[in-house]
């Protein structure tokens, strides 16, 4: 059997379709003060979609619209400061092959 070709994660994410729910945010920071005092800020590196960013004021911003719903943020935040829920039906990421 021939091995599968290696594909960059950014190339894979580019093929996804997103159905953004503007009325319900399924991903958010519970307490921004906890993030501000966090020295490691692992959220900036564990998300494959780069949903978490550090703004000029040193606060974490969440671009929930790009979430690939992998759930890594639920377990990787050492302070359990990220609230993650499934998007409502009909919204969220649509994977090309299911």
How many Å apart are CA 12 and CA 4, to the nearest integer? 14
- Asked if residues 49 and 13 have their Cβ atoms less than 8 Å apart, the reply is yes
Q: Structural domains in the chain?
A: 24-94 (3.30.70.20)
Q: What percent of the chain has pLDDT over 70?
A: 89
pLDDT at 62: 96
HSE at residue 37, side-chain half, CA atoms within 13 A, is 6
In tens, the pLDDT along 10-55 reads: 666 666 788 788 999 999 999 999 999 999 999 999 998 899 999 9
How many Å apart are CA 10 and CA 28, to the nearest integer? 23
């Amino acid at each position: 059997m021939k091995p599968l070709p290696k594909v960059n994660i950014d190339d894979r994410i580019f093929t996804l379709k997103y159905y953004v729910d503007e009325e319900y945010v399924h991903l958010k920071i519970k307490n921004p003060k906890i993030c501000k005092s966090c020295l490691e800020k692992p959220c900036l590196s564990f998300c494959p979609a780069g949903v978490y960013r550090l703004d000029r004021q040193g606060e974490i911003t969440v671009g929930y619209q790009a979430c690939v719903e992998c759930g890594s943020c639920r377990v990787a935040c050492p302070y359990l400061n990220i609230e993650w829920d499934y998007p409502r039906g009909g919204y969220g990421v649509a994977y090309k092959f299911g």
